[in-house]
Amino acid sequence: MADTPLTAKKYVDGIYIPAGLLIFGTFIVKKEWTPYAALLAVLLGVWKFNSSQPKKILKPDAFQEFELKEKTIISHNVAIYRFKLPAPSDILGLPIGQHISIGANIQQPDGTTKEIVRSYTPISGDHQPGYFDLLIKSYPTGNISKHLASLGVGQTIKVRGPKGAFVYTPNMVRHFGMVAGGTGITPMLQVVRAIIRGRPTGDKTQVDLIFANVSPQDILLKEDLDQLASEDSGFRVHYVLDKPPEGWTGGVGYVTADMVTKWLPKAAPDVKILLCGPPPMISGLKKATESLGFQKARPCVTTAPIRKANGDRTRLPVIQAIICSARPAFSSEDLREPRA
């Protein structure tokens, strides 16, 4: 929506045709007034154009409250939360590849209240004005995920952003290889959808995605992914399960260097690998990709991993690492698996 071409029908019908009629009518009625009519048409056109642009709502340094409009239950601990923007034409203003921060005052075990902030990637985009969607998996020890799960329609959350160093632009690479684990699919889906939306205007980026989960029931948004793959020959998804059912034909176990070799593009100057998932998976994949000729991953996150009460380290669903194979490119944004 934010990138509507100047030849779009709304501009033709709302600006160009009325301006042309104003100038032509003035020329017929009083020819000497035509220059003034042209100037007026330009001024009105500029005003109309500016007033028709969607308003970007996000503020990077200030939390704003957004009302929960709708909650769609996906499973016992996964839901899609739709939050309303102030006006139907408003957009978040979130560049593809970046994420938002959600803050909440959470009561601690000692009875005190502490502001907790976690990062999430919406599964919606700026081409969908008026709202944004978050896919959240709730964990028993997760501060923000539990808080979101407790919200009722009409209640609000605090959001700020955008955050992140990675911004996708059309044809920035020839081929993306992606590896996602669990809710790490959310930032990948954001990029994939942007690429496919860009096909009519020349985005030729190829994408191969490895999506790792424990069981078939854990594969989030599988119908969406399969539909995108069936409709776009430039996107392929490869599923890996730790506990596959009988007759499973996809990958089995952890994502390995052999799987990367089989399904993802080979190292080349115009290839990048995006990683998003649990820290052990990311750590193993960094080593695996290095052994295959890719550059060492350079995360651009500045926040430390979240440590849970049991000592485990976890990350939220934002892109964690970009791995290049030519000279070092920009660093990537931190990707985190959601146990917040």
Residue 225: which CATH number? 3.40.50.80
Q: Determine the distance from the C-alpha atom of residue 316 to the mean position of all C-alpha atoms in its chain, rounded to a whole number.
A: 13
Residue where one domain finishes, among candidates 163, 197, 212: 163
Same domain assignment for residues 283 and 316: yes
Same domain assignment for residues 109 and 214: no
Catalytic residue at 175?
no
- Given the residues 26, 121, 183, 289, the one annotated as active site: 121
d(CA 84, CA 93): 14
Residue 320 belongs to a domain: yes
Residue 4 belongs to a domain: no
Residue 92 belongs to a domain: yes
- Given the residues 168, 183, 205, 276, the one annotated as active site: 276
Element (H, E) at 178: strand 175-181
Catalytic residue at 239?
no
Asked if 329 and 322 touch (Cβ cutoff 8 Å), the reply is yes
Binding residues for FAD: 118, 120, 135, 137, 144-145, 186
Pair of tokens at residue 270? 């115009």
pLDDT for 26: 83
pLDDT for 142: 85
Asked if 323 and 294 touch (Cβ cutoff 8 Å), the reply is yes
Asked if 320 and 275 touch (Cβ cutoff 8 Å), the reply is yes
Same domain assignment for residues 82 and 47: no
Ramachandran sector of residue 149 (left: φ over 0; alpha: ψ -120 to 50; beta: rest): alpha
Residues 6+ apart with CB under 8 A from 174: 204, 205, 206, 268, 270, 271
- Given the residues 26, 99, 147, 205, the one annotated as active site: 99
Same domain assignment for residues 181 and 271: yes
Asked if 59 and 103 touch (Cβ cutoff 8 Å), the reply is no
Dihedral of the CA atoms 196, 58, 129, 334 (nearest 10)?
Answer: 30
Pair of tokens at residue 269? 């100057």
Answer yes or no: pTM beyond 0.85: no
Element (H, E) at 211: strand 206-213
Same domain assignment for residues 193 and 241: yes
pLDDT for 316: 54
The total of structural domains in the chain comes to 3
Beta strands in 85-165 (DSSP E): 99-107, 113-120, 131-137, 156-163
pLDDT for 140: 82
Same domain assignment for residues 316 and 204: yes
Residue 330 belongs to a domain: no
Pairing status of strand 64-75 against strand 306-307: unpaired
Residues 6+ apart with CB under 8 A from 287: none
Asked if 11 and 18 touch (Cβ cutoff 8 Å), the reply is no
Same domain assignment for residues 254 and 287: yes
Catalytic residue at 300?
no
Same domain assignment for residues 131 and 47: no
Asked if 164 and 332 touch (Cβ cutoff 8 Å), the reply is no
Place of tokens 């998804």: 237
pLDDT in tens, the chain (340 residues): 445 666 666 666 667 777 777 787 887 888 888 887 788 778 776 766 655 578 999 999 999 999 999 999 998 899 999 999 999 999 999 999 999 999 999 988 888 999 999 999 999 999 999 999 999 998 888 889 999 999 999 999 999 999 887 899 999 999 999 999 999 999 999 999 999 999 999 999 999 999 999 999 999 999 999 999 999 999 999 999 999 999 999 999 999 999 999 999 999 999 999 998 888 898 899 899 989 988 877 554 433 344 444 444 444 566 555 655 432 222 233 333 333 4
Same domain assignment for residues 36 and 87: no
- Given the residues 120, 131, 168, 239, the one annotated as active site: 120
Residue 280 belongs to a domain: yes
pLDDT for 208: 98
pLDDT for 328: 27
Same domain assignment for residues 182 and 296: yes
Same domain assignment for residues 246 and 292: yes
Tens digits of residue pLDDT in 147-186:
999 999 999 999 999 988 789 999 999 999 999 999 999 9
Residue 338 belongs to a domain: no
- CA end-to-end distance (rounded Å), the chain: 31
Binding residues: 118, 120, 135, 137, 144-145, 186
Residue 20 belongs to a domain: yes
Catalytic residue at 324?
no
3 state SS of 253: coil
Residue 241 belongs to a domain: yes
What's the domain range around 13? Answer: 9-52
Same domain assignment for residues 202 and 289: yes
d(CA 336, CA 319): 7
